[in-house]
Chains A and B, each alone.
Chain A
Amino acid sequence: MNDEMERLRGDRKMKASEILRHSWPYIKQEKWAIILSLFLIAVGVALGIVLPLFTSRFVDLLKNHIDSTPLRMVIGIVAGYAGLGVAEQVVLYFQSMILTKAGERIVYRMRTEVFTHIENMSQNQFNGMPVGSLVTRVANYTAAVSNLFTSVLVHLISDFLTAVSVLVIMMVISIKLSAFLLIFALVAGVVSFIFGRIVGKIFREERRNISDLNAFLSENLSGMKITQIFNQEKRKEAEFNVKNENIRRTHYKVVVAFALYRPFISLLYFGAIAVTFGVGLKLALGAAEIVAFYLYLSRFFNPIQNIADQLNHIQRAITAAERLYSLMEVEPEVVDKPDAIEIDHFEGSIEFKNVWFAYEGENWILKDVSFKIEPKQTVAFVGATGAGKTTILSLICRNYEIQKGQILIDGIDISNIKINSLRKAIGQMLQDVFLFSGTIKTNITLHDESFSDEEVKEACDYVNASHFIDQLPNGLQEEVIERGENFSAGQRQLLSFARTILHKPQILILDEATANIDTETELLIQDSLERIKNIGTMLVVAHRLSTIQHADNIIVLQNGQILEQGNHQELLRKRGQYYKLYELQYADQEES
Chain B
Amino acid sequence: MLFGKYINKYYLKYLAFFLIGIAALVAVDYVQTYIPKFLGQIIDEDNQLIANMDELWKIIGGILICAAIMFAGRIIWRLTIFRASGGISAGLRHQMFTKAEQLPTGYYHENKVGNIMNWFTNDVDEIHEFFGWGTIMMVDALFLSVIVIISMIRLDPWMTLIAAVPILLIIVWGALVEKFMALRWENRQAEFDKLYDFAQENFTGIRVIKAFVKQNQEIHAFAKIARKNKDVNVGFARLSVIFDVIIELILIFEVAFVLGFGGWFVYAAATSTPITIFGHEINLTIGQLIQFVGYIDLIVWPMIALGQVVTMRSRAKGSLRRISAFLDTPVVVQSPKDAIVLKDVKGEIRFSDFSFTYPSSKISSLDNVSLTIKPGETIGIVGKIGSGKTTLVNSLLRLYNVEEGTIFVDGVDIMKCDIASLRDQIAYAPQDNFLFSDKIENNIAFSSDQVDNDKVIESAKFADVHDIPERIRNRFRRTRRNALRWSKTENLDRESLLQERPDSHFG
Q: How far is the CB of A380 from chain B (nearest CB, A)?
A: 13
Q: Are B117 and A385 in contact (CB under 8 A)?
A: no
Asked if A403 is an interface residue, CB under 8 A from chain B, the answer is no
Q: Are B35 and A100 in contact (CB under 8 A)?
A: no
Q: Return the CB mask of A371-395 against B: 1 if under 8 Å, else 0.
A: 0000000000000010000000000
Which chain A positions have C-beta within 8 A of B108?
221-222, 224-225
Other-chain contact of B267, A74, A89, A226 (Cβ < 8 Å): A74
Which chain B positions have C-beta within 8 A of A520?
384-385
A255 CA to B75 CA in the complex, in Å? 10
Q: How far is the CB of A435 from chain B (nearest CB, A)?
A: 8
CB-nearest residue of chain A to B263: A74
Which residue, of A111, A132, A521, has the highest number of chain B Cβ atoms within 10 A? A111
Q: Return the CB mask of A485-508 against B: 1 if under 8 Å, else 0.
A: 000101000000001000100000
A483 CA to B211 CA in the complex, in Å? 17
Indicate whether A274 sits within 8 Å of B213 (C-beta atoms), given known contacts A104-B234, A217-B117, A228-B105: no
Asked if B98 is an interface residue, CB under 8 A from chain A, the answer is yes
CB-nearest residue of chain B to A222: B113
Asked if B315 is an interface residue, CB under 8 A from chain A, the answer is no
Q: Return the CB mask of A238-277 against B: 1 if under 8 Å, else 0.
A: 0011001101100110011011101110110011011001
CB-nearest residue of chain A to B264: A71
Indicate whether A100 sits within 8 Å of B234 (C-beta atoms), given known contacts A224-B100, A447-B214: yes
Other-chain contact of A503, B212, B218, B423, B505 (Cβ < 8 Å): B212
Asked if B195 is an interface residue, CB under 8 A from chain A, the answer is yes
Asked if B87 is an interface residue, CB under 8 A from chain A, the answer is yes
Indicate whether A214 sits within 8 Å of B121 (C-beta atoms), given known contacts A248-B86, A281-B46: yes
Q: How far is the CB of B209 from chain A (nearest CB, A)?
A: 7
Residues of B at the A interface (CB closer than 8 Å) are 35, 38-39, 42-44, 46, 49-50, 56, 59-60, 63-64, 66-68, 70-72, 74-75, 78-79, 82-83, 86-87, 89-90, 93-94, 97-98, 100-105, 108, 113, 116-117, 120-121, 192, 195-197, 199-215, 217-219, 221-223, 226-227, 229-230, 233-234, 237-238, 241-242, 245, 248-249, 252-253, 255-256, 259-260, 263-264, 266-267, 270-271, 286-287, 289-290, 380, 382, 384-385, 397, 399, 420, 423-424, 426, 428, 430, 434, 436-437, 446-447, 449, 475, 477-480, 504-507
Q: How far is the CB of A417 from chain B (nearest CB, A)?
A: 13
Q: How far is the CB of B114 from chain A (nearest CB, A)?
A: 8
Which chain B positions have C-beta within 8 A of A90?
245
Indicate whether A592 sits within 8 Å of B380 (C-beta atoms), given known contacts A248-B86, A447-B221: yes
Q: Are A544 and B71 in contact (CB under 8 A)?
A: no
Q: Are B264 and A75 in contact (CB under 8 A)?
A: yes
Other-chain contact of B423, A82, A229, A430 (Cβ < 8 Å): A229
CB-nearest residue of chain A to B506: A543
Q: Are B259 and A262 in contact (CB under 8 A)?
A: no
Q: Return the CB mask of A205-228 against B: 1 if under 8 Å, else 0.
A: 000000000110111111111111
Residues of A at the B interface (CB closer than 8 Å) are 55, 58-59, 62-63, 66-67, 71, 74-75, 77-79, 81-82, 85-86, 89-90, 92-93, 96-97, 100-101, 104-105, 107-108, 111-112, 115-116, 118-120, 123, 126-127, 131-132, 134-135, 138-139, 214-215, 217-233, 235-237, 240-241, 244-245, 247-248, 251-252, 255-256, 258-260, 262-264, 266-267, 270-271, 273-274, 277-278, 281-282, 284, 286-287, 290-291, 294, 385, 397, 399, 420, 423-424, 426, 428, 430-431, 434, 436-437, 446-448, 482-483, 488, 490, 499, 503, 512, 515-516, 518-521, 542-544, 592
Besides A81-B252, A89-B252, 4 other A-B contacts (C-beta < 8 A): A71-B264, A108-B230, A111-B226, A259-B78
A592 CA to B241 CA in the complex, in Å? 73
Other-chain contact of A287, B46, B205, B260, B270 (Cβ < 8 Å): B46
Indicate whether A499 sits within 8 Å of B436 (C-beta atoms), given known contacts A266-B71, A542-B507: no
Q: Are B290 and A59 in contact (CB under 8 A)?
A: yes
Q: How far is the CB of B486 from chain A (nearest CB, A)?
A: 14
Which residue, of A262, A273, A448, has the highest number of chain B Cβ atoms within 10 A? A273
A262 CA to B382 CA in the complex, in Å? 69
Q: Are B211 and A224 in contact (CB under 8 A)?
A: no
A78 CA to B267 CA in the complex, in Å? 13
Q: Are A120 and B215 in contact (CB under 8 A)?
A: yes
A30 CA to B264 CA in the complex, in Å? 50
Q: Are B203 and A97 in contact (CB under 8 A)?
A: no
Q: Are A85 and B201 in contact (CB under 8 A)?
A: no
Indicate whether A516 sits within 8 Å of B199 (C-beta atoms), given known contacts A100-B234, A247-B90: no
A516 CA to B46 CA in the complex, in Å? 90
Q: How far is the CB of A88 from chain B (nearest CB, A)?
A: 8
Which chain A positions have C-beta within 8 A of B424?
231
A119 CA to B202 CA in the complex, in Å? 9
Q: Are B260 and A263 in contact (CB under 8 A)?
A: no
Which chain A positions have C-beta within 8 A of B68?
267
A271 CA to B434 CA in the complex, in Å? 62
CB-nearest residue of chain A to B382: A592
Q: Are B397 and A270 in contact (CB under 8 A)?
A: no
Which chain B positions have C-beta within 8 A of A270?
35, 63-64, 66-67, 70
Q: How far is the CB of A385 from chain B (nearest CB, A)?
A: 5
Indicate whether A446 sits within 8 Å of B113 (C-beta atoms), given known contacts A75-B263, A108-B226, A237-B98: no
Q: Are A284 and B50 in contact (CB under 8 A)?
A: yes
Which chain B positions have C-beta within 8 A of A543?
506-507
Other-chain contact of A232, B87, B447, B506 (Cβ < 8 Å): B447
Q: Are B94 and A263 in contact (CB under 8 A)?
A: no
Indicate whether A291 sits within 8 Å of B90 (C-beta atoms), given known contacts A221-B117, A448-B214: no
Q: How far is the CB of B57 from chain A (nearest CB, A)?
A: 8
Other-chain contact of B213, A214, A262, A424 (Cβ < 8 Å): A424
Which chain A positions have C-beta within 8 A of B423?
228-231
Which chain A positions have C-beta within 8 A of B59?
277
Which chain B positions have C-beta within 8 A of A437?
197, 201
Which chain B positions have C-beta within 8 A of A221?
100, 108, 113, 116-117
Can you list 29 A-B pairs with a CB-CB distance of less than 8 A?
A58-B259, A59-B43, A59-B290, A63-B43, A75-B260, A97-B241, A115-B226, A120-B215, A126-B206, A135-B196, A139-B195, A219-B437, A221-B108, A225-B108, A229-B423, A233-B101, A255-B83, A271-B64, A274-B63, A290-B42, A291-B43, A291-B290, A385-B480, A436-B205, A437-B201, A446-B212, A446-B214, A488-B385, A490-B385
Q: How far is the CB of A495 from chain B (nearest CB, A)?
A: 11
Which chain B positions have C-beta within 8 A of A93?
241-242, 245
Q: Are B286 and A59 in contact (CB under 8 A)?
A: yes
Q: Are B67 and A274 in contact (CB under 8 A)?
A: yes
Which chain A positions have C-beta within 8 A of B271?
66-67
Other-chain contact of B384, A107, A111, A519 (Cβ < 8 Å): A519
Indicate whether A286 sits within 8 Å of B213 (C-beta atoms), given known contacts A89-B248, A115-B219: no
Which chain B positions have C-beta within 8 A of A139?
192, 195-196, 199
CB-nearest residue of chain B to A515: B507
Which chain B positions have C-beta within 8 A of A490?
385
Indicate whether A71 sits within 8 Å of B382 (C-beta atoms), given known contacts A97-B238, A281-B49: no
Q: Are A225 and B105 in contact (CB under 8 A)?
A: yes
Q: How far is the CB of A301 from chain B (nearest CB, A)?
A: 14
Q: Are A227 and B249 in contact (CB under 8 A)?
A: no
Indicate whether A119 sits within 8 Å of B83 (C-beta atoms), given known contacts A97-B237, A434-B208: no
CB-nearest residue of chain A to B231: A104
Other-chain contact of B227, A108, A424, A436 (Cβ < 8 Å): A108
A222 CA to B255 CA in the complex, in Å? 58
Other-chain contact of B256, A82, A291, A399 (Cβ < 8 Å): A82
Which chain A positions have C-beta within 8 A of B207?
123, 430, 434
CB-nearest residue of chain A to B50: A281
A385 CA to B384 CA in the complex, in Å? 27
